Amino acid sequence: MKNLFIGIDISKDVFDYCGLDEKNQVLISKQVCPNSKEGIRKFCNMLKEFNGYSIWICMEHTGHYGSLLCYEFSTRDIRYSLLNPLEMKHSVGITRGKTDAVDAFRIASYALSNKHKLKAYHLPVKELRKLKILMSTRDRLVKVLVQIKNGLKSLEIEAQIIPMKAQIKEMNQLIQQLDKSILSTEIQMKSIIAETLELKNNFDKITSVIGVGNITAIKCILETDNFTKFDNPRKFNCHCGLAPFKYQSGSSIRGKTKTSPLCDKSLKSILFKAACSAIQHDPQLKNYYLRKIEEGKHKLSVINAVASKIVLRIFAVSKRDQNYVKIYA
């Protein structure tokens, strides 16, 4: 059966698409559809005209803009892949100008050229999708809370010169309201986990690892799609920015071995906090940390190594039927 590769460029209100066959011939010219249920339904009906082709749809991972497309394709059993936007950007080489229609053609061309590397995307279960939305909401609330607390500190300094009692009161009320909203969001997340057996089993095992709290455990479950997206902890360490890489070329360029900035920085930050907590409460990791510091290692490098060890433990307990067993130094 012949293959048909369709590239979709998604925006808030519409999505552009273009289709190429295996000979790089345009079978579906550059067209536009509304990014709505009705628009997606018309697009799916159009695909029925190509019954003799094996259709593979590719689109960039654009967050919530592409959520409806992913859901509709999954319910219709249409095969599709989500591409990393940064990978797409580097793959097209030097370009001049940009339009959504051209981007759709470039995505289809990329899919054709890299068909051997394409992997079908499977939409996470409903509970994971809801957890992801709640976690994003919590992250935004925490970010706003930090900004308001920092603003309150500066306001209290100014209040020593200019009366700002009413404004300080309003800021404190905002902080209290945000604290309540964050707590409510966390309670909702715990409720979803408690009601889903598979999530609860992994959550209980992960939180038994010393240093891993509720938010760290939920983040790891979400990023791994409950440990189905990553098959080993080393790949996850790379994703989190914990894996060090060598930088050298020939005999003259020998850079420092360091972690890559291309990572999930929020997850790395949470794992660093988990590592700092583990160093305080886990005798084995505490001795490891102190030993490496005495050897002259940089403090952040050692914390990074401890965070990597925690990831190894998280993946280990997720594959077992028992919680983490504390090992004394």
User: What does DSSP say about strands 53-60 and 80-83: parallel, antiparallel, or unpaired?
Assistant: parallel
Q: Give residue-wise pLDDT tens across range 256-291.
A: 788 888 888 889 999 999 999 999 999 999 999 999
Rg (CA), the chain: 24
22: enclosing H helix or E strand? none
Burial group, residue 244, by CB count within 10 angstroms (0-12, 13-18, 19+): middle
CA distances from 329 to 66, 280, 281, 282, 285 (A): 49, 13, 12, 9, 8
- Every domain of the chain and the residues it spans: 2-113, 126-195, 198-329
Q: What is the pLDDT of residue 55?
A: 94
* Segments of the chain scoring below 50 in pLDDT: none
Burial class (CB in 10 A: 0-12, 13-18, 19+), 231: exposed
pLDDT, residue 97, reads: 77
Contact 289, 309 (CB under 8 A): no
Q: What pLDDT, on a 0 to 100 scale, did the predictor assign at position 62?
A: 84
Predicted pLDDT at 327? 67
- Assigned fold of 2-113: Nucleotidyltransferase; domain 5 (3.30.420)
The CA distance from 54 to 3, in Å, is 5
| Partners of 16 in beta bridges | 9, 32
